[in-house]
Amino acid sequence: MTKARYARQIMMPEIGESGQEKLGKSRVVVVGAGGLGSPLLMYLAAAGVGHIVVVDFDVVDETNLNRQILHGVGDLGRRKVDSALDRLREINPEISILGLCERVTANNLGELITGSDLVLDAVDSFGAKFVINDVCVRERTPFIHAGATGMSGQLYLYQTGQACLRCLFPTLPESLEAPQGLGILGVTAGVIGTRQALLAIRFLAGMGDDTGKLFAFDGANMREKSMRIQRSASCRVCGDKSPATFGRV
């Protein structure tokens, strides 16, 4: 690790050399290299998170360019993992970055996240978000949910024993699964993706306890709020009688 690269954050008492060392040893899996994943990945790489796995099955198209700042006009038609890796390696060639061009499923995600300290949900489909939630609960792996649409968004950090995404949304909110996606101001994805990076760095470096809190951002009125979410005992994924709870110690 080149200390000069991280000097300005090492001098912060909240991080210091010990926190920077934790970041350098951390392994994260980021699912999605689009609007949320772009600022998230760039800041994780810049901060020196040592091992980053990027998972995305899509290719870059012109409708992405208002918000997916990892990619440019020259990347149109390329796999997002390829253009993302090129950019991230320019930002920080010292870290380990792996790209996987595949769609996450309940069958493959468990293997993909094995040994990870944190999983980051940067996808725009609630179906995929639920897959990430369900597998991370089952595998007892912390994850950060993020979502953005229009001028608003939210973040949530899950750890075992806390409410999961299914506690917030017991059923798939079909209204959020429009065939062509939902409208979004590009900077909204930047605001939420950057906050997701901050939350991840706080978690990996051991700064504070953000677990179980839902952070909501309302860009139309420039308001933010946070609230603690209670776990539902009847949740079919993390509840007292769910399959994911079996075998816990």
In order along its 249 residues, the chain shows pLDDT tens digits of: 578 999 999 999 999 999 999 999 999 999 999 999 999 999 999 999 999 999 999 999 999 999 999 999 999 999 999 999 999 999 999 999 999 999 999 999 999 999 999 999 999 998 999 999 999 999 999 999 999 999 999 999 999 999 999 998 887 766 555 545 679 999 999 999 999 999 999 999 999 889 999 999 999 999 999 999 999 999 999 987 777 664 442
Beta-carbon contacts of 204 under 8 Å, excluding residues fewer than 6 positions away, are: 22, 23, 26, 28, 49, 117, 118
Q: How far apart are CA 8 and CA 191, in angstroms?
A: 22
The domains found in the chain, sorted by start residue, are 14-161+175-245 (3.40.50.720)
Element (H, E) at 224: strand 223-228
End-to-end CA distance of the chain: 37
Q: Rounded to two decimals, what is the model's pTM?
A: 0.93
SS3 23: helix
Region for 77 from its dihedrals, namely left if φ exceeds 0, alpha if ψ lies in -120 to 50, beta otherwise = left
Handedness of CA 156, 162, 166, 168 (dihedral sign): negative
